[in-house]
A and B are shown apart, each in its own frame.
Chain A
Amino acid sequence: SQQGEEDPQALSIQEGENATMNCSYKTSINNLQWYRQNSGRGLVHLILIRSNEREKHSGRLRVTLDTSKKSSSLLITASRAADTASYFCAPHPRGFQKLVFGTGTRLLVSP
């Protein structure tokens, strides 16, 4: 399977703490994308990191990519209750015209 797999499946933290989610995948990729989903809603794109990039920042988000280990991580700094959501990684396997979504990490940020 080319599917991305997130770890942990669930994460519970306090406001102000950092949240780190990891993603592993199995094949070579063109890029890897992270998405957020609030309960019962569509997904929202957070960040895209290309296979030749190692780190990318967007506001309080920091994404790293290690193609030798076929892994990526998403760090949310200074988390807020509004960050409560599910987070999905979606590798874009090379040679395939689709993203492959993992099962997600459910993040709960308590006030």
Chain B
Amino acid sequence: DGGITQSPKYLFRKEGQNVTLSCEQNLNHDAMYWYRQDPGQGLRLIYYSQIVNDFQKGDIAEGYSVSREKKESFPLTVTSAQKNPTAFYLCASSTILRDRIDEQYFGPGTRLTVT
């Protein structure tokens, strides 16, 4: 099946620990994205990548880091510097042509709880 997967579905961490969320896609998409969603809110862009070994900060990148070593994978690390990390994290991918973003395919999300 083609698609985008995120793991784990639920993640619990103690404050002060870094945690890495996995995102993998087999859609052969060039672009990948990480979003954060808080209860009753829309999505806010954390980081995005349009090509391997390159990525850009989104609107709320502070306290997060990413890597894009393979086209299929775009892991997100939530560092201890992120002041309020408890949230629902969504990964997405899309094709991109010149400056046009087509539909984004989303993973099922990871719910992170930090206590």
B42 lies within 8 A of A30 (CB): no
Least Cβ–Cβ distance between A48 and chain B, in angstroms: 6
Which residue of chain A lies nearest to B96 when distances are taken between CB atoms in the complex?
Answer: A97
Q: How large is the interface on B (under 10, 10 to 19, 20 to 34, 35 or more residues)?
A: 20 to 34
Q: Is the interface of B mostly helix, strand, loop or mixed?
A: strand
Cβ-based interface call for A41 (8 A): yes
Cβ-based interface call for B21 (8 A): no
Give the CA-CA distance A91 to B104 in the complex, in Å: 12
A33 lies within 8 A of B42 (CB): no
Most buried by A among B50, B92, B104: B104
List the one stretch of B11-19, B76-84, B105-113 in contact with chain A: B105-113
Cβ-based interface call for B1 (8 A): no
Q: Is the interface of A mostly helix, strand, loop or mixed?
A: loop
B residues in contact with A104, CB < 8 Å: 42
Q: How large is the interface on A (under 10, 10 to 19, 20 to 34, 35 or more residues)?
A: 20 to 34
Give the CA-CA distance A90 to B92 in the complex, in Å: 14
Instruction: Specify which of A33, A88, A98 is in contact with B33 (CB 8 Å cutoff).
Output: A98
B43 lies within 8 A of A88 (CB): yes
- Chain B, residues 47-90, CB within 8 Å of chain A (1/0): the string is 01010000010100000000000000000000000000000101
Q: Using CB atoms and an 8 Å cutoff, list the residues of chain A in contact with chain B.
A: 3, 30-31, 33, 35, 40-45, 48, 88, 90, 92, 94-95, 97-104
